[in-house]
Structure 1
């Protein structure tokens, strides 16, 4: 009992600090999500729009009486020196008709201006990246920072997997919590659903769909709608932010609270799927070390070909951007 109590006390004493870089639609939604749950002790917001982040911090601090205390305030890159996490959402947002990969040249310059001062601050924690194209910018963050690969995480296909699970639950008329299905590959046009590994209430997805009278063609249509859902939302309201912000909050909690949970993220592959030297969407074990283990989903030959094709596209863009 004494050991258990000591561990709890130690966890309570440890001060957890997050620096958020970028306070646009995604960043502010992430900050609000962090205020809703007792994820960290301190949240520092950094952005070139100084008046905006000061106002946002003042607005966000009023959430505390309804939830839990979280010291939120505007700051600078110097605040990253003793932070546990630096979360990067800063970047030019995608416009209607624009792909995530179209953003690479614009956002690579912004990324360089962020990573260098963060590293110079003495930051020793973990980077979490959600700016697009997220797989390319996550790999670039690791290369620019020189950090161990496990301490740089991208949101990857976490949002896409969420969208896929929602679509399946609606189509099959089942509890969303019973759906275990992931989207793999690029967070973008070359992503794909891993049908062979997906389950519903512990049963293979394809078997459940067949029993429900849902054809493979209908599933593939759902997959395509999942792939293009972000663009559809952008056309309707200008941006998407709630889903990815909640994904970021969940990732932050997994690292800060050493949760040891499996999430689909942008992870560094080293032999998995026959790939290496890049980040791509796949499940990974997340804890206080960042990415503790990259998990390789068993794929059919057709799915493996899709993963390789997705990786080839990402690798070309990454190499061009870094050169």
Structure 2
């Protein structure tokens, strides 16, 4: 029995894909509007998952999260990091109280900061397990696979093309290791073309926003990527071995693997997206970068300062919020 919970209305296509996953037997939905109707709609689909939708009144978040095994968080407003930080803090508080042992998959941007926000909230409640909190960077991997297959002239390869993408999940922090692609780029692939491909993977979200004339972002491809990663986590939790996927995690999740990766990076970072082996407890092993090119090494070097800044932003947000809450509770009551 697996209960998956989706927190946030932009997760409708994601909820549809999870409902279609035969391993999911219960699906909980939570958002500030429309959720009961979305749940009723999904409940007519002939797959095993029983679907229930909740709104904030009457302890809806706690009801949605009760008994959750996997919680996926796509909640928030596209490209509004300040707003999203507060939303993620509140949702993480609900998870820490109601489903502290769930596997938490964070999609809400900026992932480089929202994952530390979730972790810091869990730490406040004494329930942080670094093995169970993931930043979903799968869209970068999906884009890399798609774009490489386009260059190879055969989109039917896209499901088989595997390109590790490390670092983080925004702009220059996204580092595709194209030299490790399961399907090598054509021999003699020009450096200018390679640079353009890296840039397209890093800033693929901008491509979608522009095509939607600023009226939306990558919700459908993100839903697909989120469902793909959730499916891998569920399969691993149910005992399937050998599942490896890039994901943004706290390096304390695997002390040995984290230390080896830190040595490769040449700098300590609390979080980094790397090839992670998934297991019944979540993170089983953090794999090293392996052999990379000088150009890829330069990309990682450029990513590190931005990642460090993003991580600090998330940690500091919770520290400031905690301080403000403490000050408020100390105010004299009239």
Please indicate the TM-score interval, normalised by the length of the shorter structure.
0.7 to 0.9
State the Cα distance separating 1:140 from its structure 2 match: 1.8
Do 1:186 and 1:281's aligned partners in 2 also have CA atoms closer than 8 Å? yes
Do the aligned partners of residues 319 and 129 (structure 1) sit closer, same or farther apart at CA in structure 2, a change above 3 Å counting? same
Secondary structure of 2:296 counterpart:
helix
Do 1:128 and 1:153's aligned partners in 2 also have CA atoms closer than 8 Å? yes
Structure 2 gap segments, 5+ residues each: 55-59, 252-257, 317-334
User: For residues 193-251 of structure 1, what are the alpha-carbon distances to aligned partners after superposition, in whole Å with 9 as ceiling and x for unaligned?
Assistant: 21332231xxxx2xx511xx532321221222222221111222222122221222222
Match of 1:318 in 2: 311
Do 2:277 and 2:284's aligned partners in 1 also have CA atoms closer than 8 Å? yes
Q: Does 1:185 align with 2:167?
A: yes
Match of 2:89 in 1: 112
Q: Give the distance between the partners of 1:254 and 1:309, measured in 2 at CA.
A: 30
Secondary structure of 1:311 counterpart:
helix
Secondary structure of 2:66 counterpart:
helix
Secondary structure of 2:9 counterpart:
coil
Do 2:14 and 2:227's aligned partners in 1 also have CA atoms closer than 8 Å? yes
Structure 1 gap segments, 5+ residues each: 1-14, 95-102
Cα RMSD for the two superposed structures: 1.9
Task: Could you list the structure 1 runs, at least 4 aligned residues long, displaced by more than 6 angstroms after superposition.
Answer: none
Do 1:83 and 1:123's aligned partners in 2 also have CA atoms closer than 8 Å? no
Q: Give the distance between the partners of 1:177 and 1:292, measured in 2 at CA.
A: 24
Do 2:107 and 2:135's aligned partners in 1 also have CA atoms closer than 8 Å? yes
Match of 1:7 in 2: none
Between 32-41 and 243-252, the greater mean CA deviation after superposition: 243-252
Listed as ranges, the matches of 1:77-116 within 5 Å are: 77-79=61-63, 80-94=65-79, 103-116=80-93
Do 1:82 and 1:124's aligned partners in 2 also have CA atoms closer than 8 Å? no
Q: Give the distance between the partners of 1:187 and 1:37, measured in 2 at CA.
A: 26
Q: Does 1:163 align with 2:119?
A: no
Do the aligned partners of residues 104 and 276 (structure 1) sit closer, same or farther apart at CA in structure 2, a change above 3 Å counting? farther
Do 2:112 and 2:170's aligned partners in 1 also have CA atoms closer than 8 Å? no
Listed as ranges, the matches of 1:108-257 within 5 Å are: 108-146=85-123, 147-156=128-137, 158-174=138-154, 175-190=157-172, 191-200=174-183, 205=184, 208-210=185-187, 213-237=188-212, 238-257=216-235
Do 1:186 and 1:311's aligned partners in 2 also have CA atoms closer than 8 Å? no
Q: Of the candidates 18, 23, 38, which is equivalent to residue 34 of structure 1?
A: 18
The size of the alignment, in residue pairs, is 285
Match of 1:74 in 2: 53
Do the aligned partners of residues 124 and 199 (structure 1) sit closer, same or farther apart at CA in structure 2, a change above 3 Å counting? closer
Do 1:82 and 1:123's aligned partners in 2 also have CA atoms closer than 8 Å? no
Do the aligned partners of residues 308 and 81 (structure 1) sit closer, same or farther apart at CA in structure 2, a change above 3 Å counting? farther
Match of 1:100 in 2: none
